[in-house]
Structure 1
Amino acid sequence: MEILGVKFAPLNVPLERRLQTLIVAIWIFVTAFGDFWGYLITIYLIFYTETIRYFLLLYFLWMYYDWDTCHNGGRSEIWTRMARNNVFWRHFCNYFPLKLVKMVDLDPKKSYLFVSVPHGILSIGIFGSFASDILDCKKLFPGLEFHTITLDQHFKIPLFREYPYSLGYDQRDAANALKRFLISQFIKLFLLIDTSKTLITALIILKNFIKIANTALVPVFSFGETDLYNQIYSPEGSTLRRIQNYIRNLIGLAPIVFSGRGFFQYSFGLIPKRLPVTVVVGSPIELPKIDEPTTEQINEYHEKFMKSLVELFETQKYNYIKNAENVTLEL
């Protein structure tokens, strides 16, 4: 039913689908605004409660003791297993639905960096695939331990910090991540746009990884990620782009203008669209440890990774993208 250009959901939507939508809406509410709510709830408990404020002071002592945990591997699996297997995430993954696909087996005796492209608005594909165990990432890659990397600032927010910790997130320096952990947003993704003919991914590449790399990079492509929201593109030099860059330099995050759907209508809102997302894990690229790499060596391995990423996209796009022959990947 459509009223004044707004397409409303039918009244006979099954309860299961309503529940899935509710859970994804809660996830957006917590994930996108968790920093804000963490501070707001903390202020309320300190100034407007009589007893809880004293427990909060004990919590601050715990935060002080626990401050560097994010740089030392995060919470152990014994603390994250229950949260990662919660039925909440099953409804979350079934909403789109999300699917995890591997192209090759990985040696459990080695460590890897999964480089995910594209990041999207909130990295929904990667979150469902590797921050939970619902899609059986540990069965697909037996023997490997999964940790996702997020911004350091999220581990400094009272109360909210326990949310990423409970799902196995951490924030370590690149050397430790290369040595001990699997998943990392080692290549930072800034802007993602999907046009009718071109999927554009703007990448800020950290080429210094070759100086400390003694592991393998694994290209990962999240097909359908950029379809979940409509996003306004701001070209370089525009006023909106300058504002985005200024705020990103100030707080580490660039504000973006986007729209998905609402709870009872499909035309606009903060909830992502109900569209399939498939996360495809490609073949690893072995990297040597080079103490003092030359510019030529850095460019060589950088080119190898880019080539592997494009190859993964080109060989798999026909399985997951409509009119795939008209869609290309530009880096």
Structure 2
Amino acid sequence: MLSALNAPGCRRHPGLLLLPKEEREGGGGSGGGVGQRQSQQRAGGGSSMPRAGCKSAGSWSKGTGGPEPGQISLVVFIGLLFTRFWFFSVLYSIWWYLDRDKPRQGGRCSKALQSWVMWKHMRDYFPISLVKTAELDPSRNYLAGFHPQGIMAPGAFVNLCTESTGFSSLFPGIRPHLIMLPFWFRVPFFREYLMMGGLVTSDKESIAHILNRKGGGNPAAIIIGGAQEALNARPGAYTLLLRKRKGFIKLALLHGAALVPMFSFGENDLFDQVENSPGSWLRWIQDKLQKTTSFSFPLFHSRGIFQYSFGFIPYRQPITTVVGKPIAVQKTLNPSRRRRWTSCTSATSRNYATSSKPTSSSTTSPSTNTWISAERLPRGQAGVREPRGQCRDLRRLPGGVC
């Protein structure tokens, strides 16, 4: 599934070059096209696109900074109570109570909102692109695993909740639903915005509702690493929390939903994060807060609107989200023994994590193989599987695989 992806970078944030062996040696691919482009770039004849994240990257675009919409919604709701329009908040409270179960019942997706021009500006800011490697049968439902979490996961939002990258054109008849914490669906007004974008709560009942929908074409997309994985997000490094994450595997088995792996290159390159290595006092505090509140608190920073030394606007780094080949899952409703259930879950988990290693022969279309890796590998030894450790710098990996 991983292809020859050349993500431009700058001196501070190097690009990510993922090439199969034959193309790194200049002989494979489509007529040696990659080698040709690399030679042209060294000679000054490469693409005219500015290097992402550098000062030549251009001005800030809409939809990538500013206060959180949830915070604005809450301020508006409370503020209306102290004005002559207080009845709007009261009426909405009644509506919210009557409609409280809707986020667990598939929400109410709005094609009009997903097609807003604003999302195209957000797409072009990074830019964000979507790559298809296999067909998805619109008569079936799927459980998609999105990796990595990153800090804010704009790749997941733009590709799955908007039409700016042409998801419905690439996958006709498929209507994705991104899973989100139930807390955000309790925020007044903001919950309506989330549901119109196709987001639903992360309750088991909510996911089961999507996977059991008649007619098919309803993938539930879960960001597997979640809040804990965000604490490992930093440029040039991919540490995936996957080995012990088997809850989504069990859901796929219960409902017979095929698993669809998704990997978003560049997701971790948007922000710098304060060093918080495992065992440090900062990481200890962050882990405690994450376990207590279900939210992670990464200390991140990036660039500002008019300067590049500090701020909270994401760096302009390309994000390429690759959708892998579905992995068939046999429906297992009532396993006769717990051992059989555990064995079935473990086998499916191993298949999801390791059965499809990246190979590629094209610079534009990744192969239909899926992706990746052990949960962690030691730094500087990427490509060597170890039971414990960290999977780091992909630029050192043969073919971009750990």
Query: CA 1:187/1:325 → structure 2, altered by over 3 Å: closer, same or farther?
Result: closer
Query: CA 1:178/1:186 → structure 2, altered by over 3 Å: closer, same or farther?
Result: farther
2:173 counterpart SS class: coil
The TM-score with structure 2 as length reference comes to 0.69
Paired residue type of 1:23: G
Aligned residue in 2 for 1:182: 219
Aligned residue in 2 for 1:3: none
User: Which range moves more in the overlay, 134-143 or 170-179?
Assistant: 170-179
Gaps of 5+ in 1: 1-6
| Identity score, percent | 30
Shift of 1:39: 2.9
Instruction: Give per-residue Cα distances to partners, 1:31-83, cap 9 Å, x unaligned.
Output: xxx4433333322221x212x111210010110111110000100x4xx1111
1:94 counterpart SS class: helix
Larger radius of gyration: 2
Paired residue type of 2:397: E
1:165 to 195, 208, 225: 195
Aligned residue in 1 for 2:397: 325
Instruction: Show the 5 A alignment for 1:36-75.
Output: 36-46=71-81, 48-50=82-84, 52-75=85-108
Query: CA 1:300/1:317 → structure 2, altered by over 3 Å: closer, same or farther?
Result: farther
Structure with greater helix percent: 1
Aligned residue in 2 for 1:89: 119
CA RMSD after TM alignment: 2.8
Shift of 1:308: 4.2
Aligned residue in 1 for 2:8: none
The TM-score with structure 1 as length reference comes to 0.83
Distance in 1, matches of 2:274 and 2:130, equals 28
Aligned residue in 1 for 2:164: 134
Distance in 2, matches of 1:220 and 1:304, equals 15
Aligned residue in 1 for 2:297: 255
Paired residue type of 2:199: Y
Gaps of 5+ in 2: 1-52, 367-392
Aligned length: 305
Query: CA 1:194/1:329 → structure 2, altered by over 3 Å: closer, same or farther?
Result: farther
Once superposed, which parts of structure 1, at least 4 consecutive aligned residues long, lie more than 4 Å away? 7-10, 314-322, 326-330
Shift of 1:194: 4.3
Shift of 1:107: 1.1
Shift of 1:228: 0.8
Aligned residue in 1 for 2:320: 278
Q: Is the 8 A contact 2:252 2:258 kept in 1?
A: no
In the alignment, structure 1 residue 264 sits paired with structure 2 residue 311: no
In the alignment, structure 1 residue 104 sits paired with structure 2 residue 99: no
Shift of 1:156: 0.4
